[in-house]
């Protein structure tokens, strides 16, 4: 037997070795979970010899040369990355589906798998009993100890299958393999393992697995571990003989071996249960591991994930949240036929869900719903809390539908609703609510697994877009802060010479107190300098119009506080009266206190500039103003002055409209308009029939409850 013959026998694409379909299905599902860990993936892959061989082979390829010294299996998966693992899973499933199918071979695969897994668990248990470190190396050696048989089966499926289905004695098996391939399956397996890890005794352990116990008595422990674990998994010898070998090799008694074997069988049974594999009642491990039904299920899974990957590419192209949500709803319609949908996103505080978009024609009403995230209140919030899809049609899994659920169903004009949570490890995104009927739900329920994985993809997309928005907002805030600081510095520098000029004017006024004409001119100059100072301050304020919401604001209290300041600082000196008509039922609303305070301050100042002595400034608030189905709160700031000239009214909110009188506030009103827009509100202006100007502000009625 020459090395060349072994290498020829082993010259095969390891990626085409057959796997257990149930393991492939499990790996495909796990690798497409958003929150999957590499530990979880390793747990699935290390239940199948062929998949483990593929991972090791790829990780030891030249492409990953810098990582070839990594031996920990979990770290190997980290090196490969999730996308590579997905590719391994999908391509393995495709190869499995199109490979030669034979019912008898499917049963042999079941036996091969159970023996390999039993050997792996037995080797690890022996390693722990004998203090061999690392025990995971023993497990891997046990899992791969028969990998050579899969290689030879792939090279000659027809003739070698006959040998596997009717196995002769070990010595005769070696002879027939050598005659057919020029190498035995143990030699081929050892050759492959040596290529992957030349610095360990893994290769020797695979090569000498069939040797008698006394022949390996003086070999390194890993060789002895796999030699005995292989015999224990195959049970070729009576239990008494095996226990005698255990005593010889490790000094372990029969009760210890029997107890260990019971634990190994329990581990294998647990692994089978996790994969949905049912062993026969006698527990001999023989089962049909590769059936036509399982291959068809593999094909369906590959098809589903091809669709899902298409959706992922569609969603990954969207970086703006609005576009991403539209893409999600489009894909829901294409993949699952869900055409009537709404999206509820969790608010930053994590306490509420807010409707943000949807395909409903009546969305203007639906977006008024702001739902507390509390258990037992609705299917929508229950779906997010339980992190599972719920429907009004599934009474066994879903609580009784609430009035809110019925309203959503009514507005979607469907028989019931289906709630799909958008759950991400970093932040739960929200819930998609789809309207459908009972027949549609039955059809949808058949795609529950794919639907759950789609929700993971959608959640990841929403999280990515929100993170990008936060990053952009942070950049904008930093730039706004920089500009605001620069504007404040310039305003401060401009006010210094203005203050000097004003002081000199006061001195000049005192020196020329008897000259009435000069006094009038000085008064005009002082007034204009004061106006320039106010414009400079407003220019500084104009850089701060993009603040974010900062909680709830009691508007009535804010107005009362402001008016208290103005009564002392302005109203008394100008002999101005104020009139407050405040709605006592007005609740605190979610808005920005600083922005709203600046809006009110500017409007009150503008009113003061227009009023003669004994003028009146009135402020009125009102609750629950309905505009096109949406609820607002109303603020009205009015005066009884001369009103606003018609030519100024046309451009009242445009910047720096200049003429005499109150229109000096052109820049200030531009700031006011921008601030109100930043609060998602509206502002309008009119001249009252009885005289004076009136500004009306509408702000969204978001109470924060």
- Asked if 457 and 312 touch (Cβ cutoff 8 Å), the reply is yes
Specify if 532 maps to a domain: no
Q: 13-27, pLDDT tens digit by residue? A: 566 788 888 888 888
Indicate whether 593 and 678 sit together in one domain.
Answer: yes
| pTM metric for this prediction | 0.53
Instruction: Read off the pLDDT band of 208 (50, 70, 90).
Output: very high
One domain, residues 266 and 328: no
CATH code, 206: 1.10.3210.10
Whether residues 208 and 336 share a domain: the answer is: no
- The tokens for 564 are 């208290």
Greater confidence, 144 or 284?
144
313: pLDDT confidence band, cut at 50, 70 and 90?
low
Distance CA 9, CA 152 (A): 7
Q: Are strands 630-639 and 693-700 parallel, antiparallel or unpaired?
A: antiparallel
Residue 382 belongs to domain with CATH number = 3.30.450.40
Percent share of the chain, pLDDT over 70: 80
Check whether residue 310 and residue 271 sit in a common domain: no
The Cα 445–Cα 416 span in angstroms is: 14
User: Does 266 lie in the same domain as 345?
Assistant: no
Handedness of CA 140, 145, 146, 147 (dihedral sign): positive
Instruction: For residue range 253-267, list pLDDT tens digits in order.
Output: 999 999 999 999 999
Of 554, 546, 671, 680, nearest in space to 606 by CA: 671
Please answer whether residues 332 and 432 qualify as being in contact, where contact means their C-beta atoms are separated by less than 8 angstroms: yes
Q: Who wins on pLDDT, 446 or 365?
A: 446
- Cis amide leading into 134 (omega within 30): yes
Tens digit of each residue's pLDDT (9 = 90 or more) over 575-627: 788 889 999 888 888 888 878 888 888 888 888 877 877 788 899 999 888 88
The sheet that has 390-391: what strands, in order across it?
A: 370-372, 352-358, 341-346, 430-436, 416-422, 390-391
Q: In this structure, is residue 215 part of a structural domain?
A: yes
Residue 117 lies inside a defined structural domain of this protein: yes
Supply the mean pLDDT for the chain: 80
Asked if 320 and 203 sit in the same domain, the reply is no
Q: Does 471 have pLDDT greater than 90?
A: no
State how far the Cα of 212 lies from the Cα of 214, in Å rounded to an integer. 6
pLDDT tens-digit map of 363-393 = 556 667 788 898 888 899 999 998 888 988 8
Say whether pLDDT at 659 is over 60: no
State which residues form the domain around 613.
545-705
């Amino acid at each position: 037997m020459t090395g060349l013959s072994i290498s020829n026998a082993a010259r095969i694409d390891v990626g085409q070795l057959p796997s257990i379909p149930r393991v492939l299905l499990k790996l495909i599902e796990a690798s497409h979970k958003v929150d999957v860990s590499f530990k979880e993936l390793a747990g699935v892959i290390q239940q199948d010899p062929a998949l483990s061989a593929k991972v090791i082979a790829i990780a030891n390829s030249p492409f990953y040369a810098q990582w070839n010294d990594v031996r920990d299996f979990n770290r190997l998966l980290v090196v490969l990355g999730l996308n590579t693992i997905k590719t391994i899973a999908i391509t393995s499933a495709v190869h499995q589906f199109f490979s030669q199918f034979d019912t008898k071979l499917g049963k042999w695969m079941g036996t091969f798998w159970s023996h390999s897994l039993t050997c792996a668990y037995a080797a690890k248990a022996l390693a722990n009993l004998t203090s061999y470190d690392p025990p995971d190396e023993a497990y891997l050696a046990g899992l791969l100890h028969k990998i050579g048989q899969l290689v030879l089966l792939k090279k000659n499926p027809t003739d070698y299958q006959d040998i596997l289905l009717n196995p002769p004695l070990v010595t005769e098996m070696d002879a027939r393999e050598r005659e057919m391939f020029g190498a035995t399956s143990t030699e081929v397996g050892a050759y492959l393992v040596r290529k992957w890890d030349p610095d360990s005794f893994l290769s020797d352990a695979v090569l000498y697995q069939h040797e008698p116990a006394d022949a390996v008595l003086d070999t390194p422990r890993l060789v002895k571990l796999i030699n005995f674990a292989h015999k224990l998994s195959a049970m070729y010898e009576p239990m008494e003989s095996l226990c005698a070998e255990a005593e010889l090799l490790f000094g372990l008694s029969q009760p210890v071996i029997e107890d260990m074997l019971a634990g190994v069988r329990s581990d294998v049974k647990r692994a089978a249960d996790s994969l949905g594999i049912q062993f026969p009642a006698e527990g001999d491990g023989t089962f049909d591991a590769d059936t036509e039904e399982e291959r068809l299920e593999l094909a369906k899974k590959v098809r589903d994930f091809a669709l899902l990957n298409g959706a992922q590419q569609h969603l990954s192209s969207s970086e703006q949240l609005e576009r991403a949500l539209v893409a999600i709803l489009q894909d829901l319609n294409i993949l699952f036929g869900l055409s009537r949908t709404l999206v509820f996103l969790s608010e930053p505080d994590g306490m509420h869900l807010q409707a943000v978009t949807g395909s409903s024609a009546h969305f203007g009403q639906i977006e008024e719903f702001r739902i507390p995230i509390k258990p037992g209140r609705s299917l929508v919030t229950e779906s997010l809390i339980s992190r599972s899809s719920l429907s009004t049609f599934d009474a066994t899994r879903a609580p009784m539908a609430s009035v809110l659920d019925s309203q959503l169903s009514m507005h979607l004009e469907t028989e019931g609703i289906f709630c799909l949570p958008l759950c991400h490890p970093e932040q739960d995104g929200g819930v998609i609510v789809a309207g459908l009927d009972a027949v549609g739900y039955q059809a949808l329920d058949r795609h529950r697994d794919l639907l759950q994985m789609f929700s993971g993809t959608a959640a990841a997309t929403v999280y990515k877009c929100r993170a990008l928005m936060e990053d952009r907002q942070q950049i904008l805030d930093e730039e706004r802060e920089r500009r605001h600081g620069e504007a404040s510095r310039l305003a401060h520098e401009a006010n210094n010479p203005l203050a000097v000029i004003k002081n000199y004017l006061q001195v000049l006024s005192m020196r020329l107190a008897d000259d009435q004409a000069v006094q009038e001119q000085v008064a005009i100059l002082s007034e204009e300098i004061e106006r320039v100072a106010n414009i400079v301050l407003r220019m500084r304020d104009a850089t701060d119009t993009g603040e974010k919401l900062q909680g709830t604001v009691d508007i009535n209290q804010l107005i009362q506080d402001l008016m208290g300041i103005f009564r002392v600082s302005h109203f008394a000196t100008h002999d101005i009266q104020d009139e407050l008509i405040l709605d006592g039922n007005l609740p605190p609303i979610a808005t920005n206190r600083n922005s709203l305070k600046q809006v009110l301050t500017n409007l009150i100042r503008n009113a003061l500039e227009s009023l003669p002595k004994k003028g009146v400034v009135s402020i009125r608030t009102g609750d629950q103003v309905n505009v096109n189905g949406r609820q607002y709160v109303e603020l009205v700031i009015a005066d009884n002055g001369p009103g606003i000239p018609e030519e100024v009214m046309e451009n009242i909110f445009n910047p720096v409209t200049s003429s005499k009188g109150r229109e000096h506030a052109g820049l200030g009103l531009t700031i006011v308009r921008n601030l109100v827009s930043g609060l998602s509100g509206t502002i309008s202006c009119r001249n009252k029939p009885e005289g004076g100007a009136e500004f009306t502000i509408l702000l969204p009625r978001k109470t924060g409850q």
